[in-house]
């Protein structure tokens, strides 16, 4: 049985026992979290969140890309969120590649250079600051007074806040 088949079986078991009922499409904590796709980050578990409470937006690196701003704009303007929590982490895969190197790899493999930015980084603190500034400067977002950034330590599971001077 393949992995996805196993997950379908898991879903059958989950659906048989999970509470049924209606959750509002609008996050009850009025919160959106932007974070990395890293498989070690259990965002709901680490923050004590339940379903229905927050949007969790993920990509490689937790990068505040144009598409992340798109999701945040929908989250704030249509679904009532006000606070934004950015969570980067130690040992990120995006620290193990370079923009030029990965771009060249993609071009060499396919003959086509990607139109998107790779957005690798070496200094995770600097990348959190960069991400904070991108959110705070985006006029597409009506709520920018509660934007905070953190680094999650994948060994200790603790969050450390990063401030923009």
CB of 41 to Zn ion, least distance (A): 8
Positions in the binding site for Zn ion (CB under 5 A): 36, 38, 92
CB of 44 to Zn ion, least distance (A): 17
The helix (H) or strand (E) run that includes residue 56 is strand 54-59
Question: Of 40, 75, 37, which Cα lies nearest the Cα of 59?
Answer: 37
C-alpha 13, offset from chain centre: 28
Question: What's the number of CA atoms in the CB half-sphere (13 Å) around residue 35?
Answer: 24
CB of 95 to Zn ion, least distance (A): 8
Q: How many whole angstroms separate alpha carbon 109 and alpha carbon 105?
A: 6
CB of 13 to Zn ion, least distance (A): 30
Q: Is 86 helix (H, G, I), strand (E, B) or coil?
A: strand
End-to-end alpha carbon distance in the chain: 52
Q: Which is nearer to Zn ion, 9 or 126 (by Cβ)?
A: 126
The helix (H) or strand (E) run that includes residue 4 is helix 3-17
Q: Which is nearer to Zn ion, 34 or 92 (by Cβ)?
A: 92
CB of 62 to Zn ion, least distance (A): 7
Using the structure block, give the residue that is written with the tokens 């049985």: 1
Beta bridge partners of 54: 31
């Amino acid at each position: 049985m393949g992995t996805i088949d196993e997950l379908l079986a898991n879903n059958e078991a989950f659906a048989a026992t999970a509470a049924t009922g209606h959750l509002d499409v609008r996050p009850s904590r009025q919160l959106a979290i932007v974070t990395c796709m890293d498989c070690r980050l259990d965002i709901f578990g680490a923050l004590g969140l339940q379903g229905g409470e927050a949007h969790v937006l993920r990509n490689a690196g937790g990068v505040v890309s144009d598409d992340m701003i798109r999701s945040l704009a929908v989250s704030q303007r249509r679904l009532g969120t006000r606070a934004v929590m950015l969570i980067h982490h130690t040992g990120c895969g995006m620290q193990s590649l370079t923009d030029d190197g990965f771009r060249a790899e993609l071009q060499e493999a396919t003959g086509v250079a990607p139109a998107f930015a790779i957005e690798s980084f070496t200094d995770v603190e600097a990348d959190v600051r960069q991400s904070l500034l991108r959110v705070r400067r985006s006029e597409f977002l009506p709520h920018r007074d509660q934007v905070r950034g953190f680094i999650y330590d994948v060994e200790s599971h603790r969050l450390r806040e990063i401030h923009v001077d």
